[in-house]
Structure 1
Amino acid sequence: MEYTLILLAIFIVAISRAYYLDYKSDKEEFKFSLKKVGKKVLEYCFILLIIIGIKSAYTYFIPLNKTHGVEYNSERLKLGIPQISGNLKYIPEWSEQFELVWYNENSKNGHFKKIVEYGVLNAKSETDYYKNENKKDIYVWSEYDFTDNSFAYFMEKPNDKVASVSENGQLKIEKPRIEQKINKSEFEKFINE
C-alpha cells in the first residue's frame, strides 16, 4: 500500500512538473491545448449523458405496452385466460422490468400465482399457477402464449425416485422435482378436484 502511494505521488509530481515546464516554455500554446482538451472533455460528458438518458429511458419505458394488469381482465375473459381476482396482489419485489407477478399468500387451494412476461413491444405470455390441498407438493400451471394464441399445460411434482442407475452402471442422482407437460383434461381434472 505504501509503495502504491509513493508511486502515485511520484507520478503526480512528474505530470505536474511537465505541465509547469510546458506552460513556462509557451504560454499561448499551453492555453490553446487546454481549450482543446476542455472541448473534448465536454464532448465526452455530453456523450455520457446521452448514454445514461437512453439507458434510463429503456429501463422506464420499455416494454412499451405494459397494461396487462387488472384492466386487461375483459380481454382475458375473451381469450379464456384466468383473470386477476381481488385476492391476487401485485408483488413489486418479485417483479422485474419484463415480468410482473401477482400472488395470493393465503391460498391453500386453486389459483395462487400469475406471471405476465413481456417483450419489447407487448406481453409475450401469461402463466397461471394452481395448487390442490388434496395433492400436497404438486403444482400445475397453464401458459398462454400471446404470439400464437395457444395454451400449454404443465405439472410439477416430487420425484419419488431419488437415485437411479445409468446405462453404464453409474449411480445417478435425480432432480428432487419432476416437471412434465400435460394435456388440458389432466390440467382441468387437477384444478377441479
Structure 2
Amino acid sequence: MATLIHLNGAPGIGKSTVAQRYVAEHPGVLDCDVDRLRRLVGGWQDDFDGIGAIIRPVALAMIRAHLDGGHDVVLPQMLVSEDQRARFRAAALDAGHDYLHIALQAPVGVAESRFYGRSEHDTLNAVIRRTVDGQGGSDAIGALDRRLAGNAEAVDDVVHVDASGDLEATYRAVVGAVEAARQQRPLR
C-alpha cells in the first residue's frame, strides 16, 4: 500500500527542502511540489494563486497515478483550507492508499525568518515572495502559521513535527514520523 505524505506548514518552514531530501533518499518516491508544477503553466509569474487552482487537479491526478503504481508521494504543500486538504486526502484514501498529514511547526517568527532568508535570484522564490508580500508579508505568514496551528489542533489525523531546529533535525523528525506511522498501520 502506497502513502501520500503531506508536509503542511507556513511558507518558509522547510516543506520543499525536506521533500527534496526525502525523495533523494527514497528511490521511487514522487515529490509532487505544487509550487514547482505551477511553473509549467503559462502566466504563472503573473497569477500565482490563479495558476494554483489550475494545477491542483493535475497534481491530484499525478498523485493518484503514482500511488496506484505502488509508490509513495511527498506533497510539500501548505493547505490551510480543510476542504482543499480533504481533496488530497481523498485522492489517496478513495483509491485504497494511506494518507499521512505532517504539520511542520515552529515558534512564531521561524518560518518568516527562513522565508525572507531565501534567495530572490530563484524566479520561483521571487514570485512566491511577491505573492506573500502582496497578501501582507510578515503579517500574512504569521496569520497563516496561526491558522495552520489551529487547524492542526482541530483534526485528529495530523502528526506534529517540530521544525524549529535546523533542517537536518526537521528531516530526521519527518522520517521518524513516517516510520512510526507505518508501524501503526493503517494510517487512514
Bin for the TM-score computed over the shorter chain: under 0.3
> What TM-score does the superposition give when structure 2 sets the normalisation length?
0.24
Structure that is richer in strand per residue: 1
Task: Identify which of structures 1 and 2 has the higher relative contact order when contacts are C-alpha pairs closer than 8 Å and 6+ apart.
Answer: 2
> What TM-score does the superposition give when structure 1 sets the normalisation length?
0.24
Structure that is richer in helix per residue: 2
For the pair shown, the structure with the greater C-alpha radius of gyration is 1
